[in-house]
Amino acid sequence: MSGGQTREAIKFLTKCAILVMALATVAPAFALPPAGLSDSGQPGNVVIYPKFVNLPAVNVDGNVVPRTEIEIGAVCPAGIVCAEHQSVTVHFQWICPGTEGVNSNICPGSGFAVVLSVNGKLAFSADGIPINGNSPRVPAAPCPRGYLIGSASSDQPNFDGLIGNAVIRGPNLAAGPNAGSSTSLSAYQAITMQANTALTGVQVGDVRFDKTALGAPLPNVLSETFLVFLTLNVQSNRPNNPTFVPLNFYNESSGLPSSTDPNFESRLSTFWEFVCWDQVQLSTINPNLTQAFMGTRKGLVIAGPARKTQSGAPGDSTGPVTLIGLVETIEGTAANSFQERKYNFNMSTNGVPIP
């Protein structure tokens, strides 16, 4: 990354009012001002894509398409008068996961910038191959999976006008009438943060418990569910301490609500730990997170409060950190590794910002 891009990235991380280090720089020694909670239902100054997939393109209706398509748009922020065709520069960072105890817990990252205009839209892939003639020139992500974060240029420090979404496709099927083609498709709305706001350290989401063999409860649709977790408290290309996340899963009611019904809102407590970003299957977190054991198809999870713990990165901070989550479910047949269909859900927060 050039020195100019590094300076732009440092500026946007400071104005986010969260302790996030997305570049290999040392955090300045000053107290950040109190920050309100960001509103992801509104355009923002920062835009976060919780997951990308950088793997070979797939076949869709005879066309070769990328596994991930990122969309970034810009609108005129409320209370600001924008000139017609006003340009907006967005500085991005691909952020890759690290592995605890491997390569010093380093999370690789790579930066780039794109330019669009107010009321304009750009789309690009995570594999660096242009989608069409309108695609901006973007480097491939330096890993198969991770997250993407972007911010408006520091020349427009309060430009709360960024919006975005992502489309992610599954691999080509190996068996059945659609063999050789990708049929699973999911999409999500990017997380936005307004200038001088913060995120929370708790995520709440709906889940479908894993079911990889036929049996009760009905219906007999086989599926697997994954949780995607990330923190913005990252030092890319430098050692990071792991993020510890306590998890509480609850099943859906198997009968009428009652304080004496042992099958109502049964809880399973566990945890997960990751470095920068991770995607993990429910039954990998705990082998009992299945429909057969939980007794119901669906439930919910409360994740957090997230904390960084000291483990292999003395130069990184510890304590409460931001947490973003995404729920992904795939369903289908075992012959295709349940990849016939796919969907994502953004998770909710507890409304308590991490200063």
Element (H, E) at 279: strand 277-281
**What parts of the chain have a pLDDT lower than 70?**
1-35, 253-264
Query: Residue 104: which region, alpha, beta or left (left: phi > 0; alpha: psi -120 to 50)?
Result: left
Closest CA to 161 of 188, 113, 111, 121: 121
For residue range 56-70, list pLDDT tens digits in order: 999 999 999 999 999
**Residue at 354 is within a domain:** no
Print the domain residue range for 66.
3-349
* Burial 183-194, CB ≥16 within 10 A → b, else e: bbebebebbbbb
**Residue at 45 is within a domain:** yes
Domain count, the chain: 1
**Residue at 355 is within a domain:** no
For residue range 162-190, list pLDDT tens digits in order: 999 999 999 999 999 999 999 999 999 99
For residue range 54-107, list pLDDT tens digits in order: 999 999 999 999 999 999 999 999 988 999 899 999 999 999 999 998 999 999
Of all residues in the chain, what percent carry a pLDDT higher than 70? 86
**Residue at 56 is within a domain:** yes
